[in-house]
Amino acid sequence: MSPRVAVVIPNWNRAALLVRALESVARQDEPVRLVVVDNGSTDGSVSAARRAGAEVIEWPGNRGFAAAVNAGVRICSEPWVLILNNDAELEPGCLSTLLAAAARHQAACVAPRLLSHRDPGTLDGAWDLLCRGGAALRCGHGVPDGPAWRTPRRIPLAPLTAALIRRELCELDEAFGSYLEDVELSLRLQFNGHAIWYEPSAAVRHHGSATDGAWSEHMVRLIARNQVLLLARHYPDGWWRREGWPVLVAQALWGLAALRRGRFRAWFAGKWRGMREYRAFRGQNRAPEAVFREFLRQNERELRAYTRAHPDRFWQLYCALTRAE
């Protein structure tokens, strides 16, 4: 039986976690083509992947998450691709459940319920929302799992920690490298009329920030830069007249969060680079302004309701200092 799915795993120096991810794929009840794209690991990751039966694309250096995913997808012919982080493990039956959901909802992308590996009773995340200020919220992160998170639904943005995507639509913007490349892909899918679904009966356990580490300088610098690139790629001409204040608030609050963690210099370097690159990355094929603003309006409405139900200092301040349209 020819596989319907190719599993593509980008990796860099996390051999032990990669082995666990590969073992979780092997336990699925769906045949797969398994591809590991290695970004110059020196810890035995390549040999571990080959022992597990994976095809390996081996690079001498780290080209980033987006480039690794694209390289893996390009060698595949299967109709579906599951992008999987090297620190994520599929629960039994996850893959077949995602495929069934894609068929049932005619979805181009399906996201599973993400659980914390350390505490499976806590969510790592479910879906993302984009505020008017150009910052993304991971819904469900750190929230106890429960009935509220067990209902399938159409979602705005799918995290690429683990996500099933139609192969011909699975092309990340390599300019983003790592971080927010999943938001950017989801925006393109949405604005081209493709459905993105959340399927909670498919579950994945995620270690989280295993490659770069939480609030590493590299992570902060890239996120700060890529937030600016999202504005360049997708916000309409003259966006500063209506979104200028929310953007200033969201980006300043994120800078304060970086400062508290000793990462202000990385935040500033990322913002400076993003502003220097803004004009070159300005998107030519943006969604119609009315479509984009309605998308932002719906995201902002849901974000504010979510913040009321799950208070978080960052998002409480953002909501207090801005208003929904």
The confidence score (pLDDT) of residue 39 equals 93
The distance of Cα 301 from the centroid of its chain, to the nearest Å, equals: 21
Instruction: Identify the CA nearest to 111 among candidates 123, 101, 122.
Output: 101
Alpha carbon separation from 221 to 64, 102, 192, 301 (Å, rounded): 14, 35, 30, 29
Mean pLDDT taken over the chain: 94
Q: Do 123 and 140 contact (CB within 8 A), yes or no?
A: yes
This prediction has a pTM of 0.94
Distance in angstroms (rounded) separating the CA atoms of residues 84 and 101: 18
Tell me the pLDDT band of 324, cut-offs 50, 70 and 90.
confident
Alpha carbon separation from 315 to 58, 67, 171, 196, 221 (Å, rounded): 40, 31, 30, 24, 21
5-206: CATH, from 3.30.360.10, 3.30.70.270, 3.90.79.10, 3.90.550.10:
3.90.550.10
Query: What does the pLDDT look like over 188-213, one tens digit per residue?
Result: 999 999 999 999 999 999 997 645 55
Q: Domain limits of the chain?
A: 5-206, 217-321
Tell me the pLDDT band of 183, cut-offs 50, 70 and 90.
very high
What's the token pair of residue 52?
Answer: 């597990």
DSSP state of 91: P
Query: What does the pLDDT look like over 28-42, one tens digit per residue?
Result: 999 999 999 999 999
Contacts of 302 (CB under 8 A, 6+ apart): 129, 156
Query: What does the pLDDT look like over 63-89, one tens digit per residue?
Result: 889 999 999 999 999 999 999 999 999
Distance in angstroms (rounded) separating the CA atoms of residues 256 and 268: 11
Query: What does the pLDDT look like over 120-171, one tens digit per residue?
Result: 999 999 999 999 999 999 999 999 999 999 999 999 999 999 999 999 999 9
The confidence score (pLDDT) of residue 178 equals 87
- H or E element at residue 246: helix 240-260
Averaged pLDDT for residues 235-248: 95
Distance in angstroms (rounded) separating the CA atoms of residues 38 and 61: 9
